Structure 1
Amino acid sequence: MAKAYGGNPQLNASRALTRVRDEDVAIAQSGYRPTASINVQAGVTQQEGSLEGGTRQQLLKPASAGLVVNQTLFNGFQTDNNTRRAESGVYGQRETLRFTEMSVLFSAAQSYMNVLADTATLELRRNNVEVLEEQLRQTRDRFNVGEVTRTDVAQAEARLAGARADVSAAESALRTSIGIYRQNIGVEPRQLAPGRPLDRYVPASLDQAVAVGLKEHPQILSAFHAVDAAEAQVKVFEGTLYPTLSVQGQVQQAYDQQLANTSGYAASILGRLTIPLYQGGQEYAQIRQAKETAGQRRIEAEQVRDQVRAQIVDFWGRLEAAKARVIASQAQVQANEVALNGVREEARVGQRTTLDVLNAQQELLNARVNLITAQRDRVIFSYGVVQAIGRLTVRFTAVPVAAYSPKTHFDQVKDLWFGVRTADGR
């Protein structure tokens, strides 16, 4: 899980998107700040005029340079609400990042357990081939001395052929699991330790699990941040109906504007008040549209709550069923081991047929495979419950890896007035 957390491309892409959303706040806060520009002009002017007794020509080289500064003082709280909308977007993306983290960690755990289970299953099936090869050899020896018929030999041969086909299928399944493991975790599986369930992070009851999930699940929190952003957007559009007040300061130095070898200096400060009256109805339509969008986001948030609740109940039921299957499969394996030993002893004295022995061996193999599957599901579904309640993160489960903090980048860029380099130096 630590390796998946550090190198999974899906998680890294979600972190990058979180940093993108951080810049939305800096963009929104630019509305609080002044804008400044320098204007420079230069050229050549030929002037010619008539005077008594002749004409007069003059070559001018007019030039000017000026500084203009604009500052918005009031715009109907649009900047405030744009900032609030951007911050809600940042918080929502952080929750989306946390959900991506949980999905990646769950996929890593699932991949890990699938490789373990498929490796154990392949080993069982290979051992079964060896047992059936020995069974076939013994059956042929008994056929040669007349103890069994050709039918017994054919049954042993058929069962061995099927076992070899099962080995091929198990090898294919293991290769697939290894490929998915490499995709999710980033390295080849090497010397995997037995997997352990996350029982200490699983709530004591289903009701507690649902309560935790509805309070902490990142999809729910992200959905409500989307509601906040939509409501702020309504306020932004409502702000277009308010007056706008701004101030402009300007200084300018000019040369040779009318006469050669002359200069002039000017400075001014102007206030501007703009009162909107009617813009064709666009602003009203935008307000109505934004309100409908906010209503949609509220409905979607409730839908997400229902989905999370259903997912918690689903994984909880799967975990309880897996626990029961482990106990039942262990009992089944023990019973089939006793049965196989008994059938073999009875077959030696002629009370059981070759088919009886083959069937007993197959039942024991099936029970062992079922136990492996149940043990795998027992671990995976414990991770599934922790994910469903919103707690499958490196911080909560104490995975030994440095946790990524999206707040660090946010604090670095939210108040930047200038600069084109990203926080990591790009």
Structure 2
Amino acid sequence: MYLSRFKRTLCRIGVALPLALALVVPRPAFAETLADALVGAYERSGLLEQNRALLRAADEDVASAKSALKPVLRWAGGLTQSFGSTRTSSLVSSQSTASLTASINLIGELLLYDFGASQYRVEATKETVLATRQTLLDLEQQVLLRAVAAYMGVIEASDVVALRNNNLRLLTQELRAARDRFDVGEVTNTDVAIAEAQLAEARSGLAGAEGALLRAVEEYRNVVGRTPSNLTPPPQLPNVSGNLEAAKALAVRRHPAVLAAQHQVAAARLAVSSNESAMSPRITLQGNYGLSETFDSKRYSRSGSVGVEAGQTIYQGGALSSAVRRAMAQEDAQRANLHVVSREVAQEVGNAYASLSSTRAQLEASDRQIRAARTAFEGVREEAKLGARTTLDVLDAEQVLLDAESTRVTARANLYIAAYAVLASTGQLTARDLGLPVQLYDAAAYYNLVKDGPAKYSKQGQALDRVLRALQKN
């Protein structure tokens, strides 16, 4: 399968880039492969770190929703200063009274039955967690595809600089030859001026290519997290399936964006059930134990109670019914979104295959163009030595050859980007699918620690604290 082949070939070391790249970045002691770039992007992406944190926040929503099904225990205390005066008759002086009373109460409450409203909310948050996991995978694909583009961008820009340098050397030679022929009267001053103009244009083109290389290096540093160093030619292209319809069917089944939309539909459907159940009665178990004592007195009291309470909201200004209708509308929206996402994913597959096919054809055509242009250039240059061609003819032929070689460099970079875009469009451009040598982020590990809402000082809570400290250090 092409994924296993890609895994074997990613780490092959190829021939080093032209010397032009070494003028921009420090020369390293080792060669950097496409696999190294993908690993760097996976491990250093701030976008992935951000959305991993958002996933952990979604995990906590499950614990929060589950808390509605667990006992609630709280305490309340107070200190009351009472004062006043009493008088039994108008002939008897009044008597002042004052007391200071302290009280503390322990209150417990447990939901016994609410017709599934709380459980539906729990299941809805679980579906939201699953949707967030798939969104994280989709972002992972985007990060890795951008890393491929950054890698090929540096290679392309470096090769163009090398071509421009070579063109500059050739034009310098042509200018020298034109001046020599002018000295012996074979050409006019116009030919020399044309050669000088072409050389100036070549210097301008080289400056632009070097600027493009610097920008490509900055993009690579941003995406991969380090400066590119001695990038090797990329490995063999992944063996992408040639069956477009099968690829579209695969993408609709397994693309993270589609799976995320499916979980969002499920969450919206559960939210409807939860809001409908919220209109039903609630049955709770309540308990209370309190202690009250008056200072400067022997009076005190202890009391407790346990009871079952049932209640239901009969009317709340239409808020409950509105919440149900709102949840239904959101479910309709999520279903429509699933339809839109599925069609967009299928379209992306078609676009990726079209881009791959056209780029491959462009690359093959540029190879033929280079062979023909090189033959033409060599012939024109020889004819110019015999006086059958002008200096302008030679320079034009050289420009055609340069354009053909530049087109091939660009087509080669675009071919690799298009091939990996096909993998991304079908949901197969993840670190796991590519077999990258990285510590894969375990999306379920944090969820398993927090899903039951562990107490802070419990064994599980202390383990969670260690995980959080490790995440903050990273």
Paired positions, count: 424
Cα 1:142/1:68, change in 2 over 3 Å = same
Question: Contact 1:197–1:379 at 8 Å: present in 2 too?
Answer: no
Moved more, 360-369 or 410-419: 410-419
| Alignment match, 1:220 | 258
Structure 1 position 349 matched with structure 2 position 386: yes
Rounded to whole Å, the distance in 2 between the matches of 1:198 and 1:335 is 27
Q: After superposition, what is the alpha-carbon deviation per residue over 1:70-115, rounded to whole angstroms, capped at 9, x for unaligned? A: 1111123121111111111111111111111110111111011011
Q: How does 1:27-176 map to 2 (within 5 A)?
A: 27-46=64-83, 49=86, 60-176=99-215
- AA of the residue aligned to 1:254: S
What is the SS of the residue equivalent to 2:228? coil
Moved more, 295-304 or 247-256: 247-256
Rounded to whole Å, the distance in 2 between the matches of 1:141 and 1:131 is 15
Rounded to whole Å, the distance in 2 between the matches of 1:301 and 1:280 is 34
| Alignment match, 2:280 | 242
Unaligned runs of 5+ in 2: 1-37
Cα 1:55/1:260, change in 2 over 3 Å = farther
Structure 1 position 317 matched with structure 2 position 354: yes
CA apart distance, 1:47: 6.5
Match of 1:191 among 230, 239, 248: 230
Rounded to whole Å, the distance in 1 between the matches of 2:101 and 2:61 is 43
Question: Contact 2:123–2:267 at 8 Å: present in 1 too?
Answer: yes
Give identity over the alignment, percent.
Answer: 32
CA apart distance, 1:42: 3.0
Structure 1 position 182 matched with structure 2 position 221: yes
Match of 1:329 among 362, 366, 377: 366
What is the SS of the residue equivalent to 1:62? strand
Q: After superposition, what is the alpha-carbon deviation per residue over 1:23-42, rounded to whole angstroms, capped at 9, x for unaligned? A: 11011001011111122233
> How well do the aligned residues superpose, as a CA RMSD in angstroms?
2.0
Rounded to whole Å, the distance in 1 between the matches of 2:96 and 2:320 is 56
Question: Contact 2:171–2:195 at 8 Å: present in 1 too?
Answer: yes
Rounded to whole Å, the distance in 2 between the matches of 1:88 and 1:396 is 24
What is the SS of the residue equivalent to 2:379? helix
Rounded to whole Å, the distance in 1 between the matches of 2:383 and 2:84 is 127
Q: After superposition, what is the alpha-carbon deviation per residue over 1:361-393, rounded to whole angstroms, capped at 9, x for unaligned? A: 111111111111111111110111001111110
Question: Contact 1:217–1:388 at 8 Å: present in 2 too?
Answer: yes
| Alignment match, 1:424 | 468
Q: How does 1:247-262 map to 2 (within 5 A)?
A: 247-256=285-294, 260-262=297-299
| Alignment match, 2:11 | none
Match of 1:21 among 33, 55, 58: 58
Q: After superposition, what is the alpha-carbon deviation per residue over 1:308-328, rounded to whole angstroms, capped at 9, x for unaligned? A: 111110110111111112222
Rounded to whole Å, the distance in 1 between the matches of 2:232 and 2:162 is 16
Moved more, 412-421 or 94-103: 412-421
Cα 1:197/1:221, change in 2 over 3 Å = farther
Match of 1:233 among 264, 271, 281: 271
- AA of the residue aligned to 1:18: L
Unaligned runs of 5+ in 1: none
Rounded to whole Å, the distance in 2 between the matches of 1:198 and 1:334 is 24
What is the SS of the residue equivalent to 1:12? helix
Q: After superposition, what is the alpha-carbon deviation per residue over 1:51-71, rounded to whole angstroms, capped at 9, x for unaligned? A: 799877665442222211011
Rounded to whole Å, the distance in 2 between the matches of 1:306 and 1:214 is 8
Q: TM-score, normalised by structure 2?
A: 0.85
| Alignment match, 1:208 | 246
Rounded to whole Å, the distance in 2 between the matches of 1:139 and 1:172 is 30
Q: TM-score, normalised by structure 1?
A: 0.94
Moved more, 236-245 or 280-289: 280-289
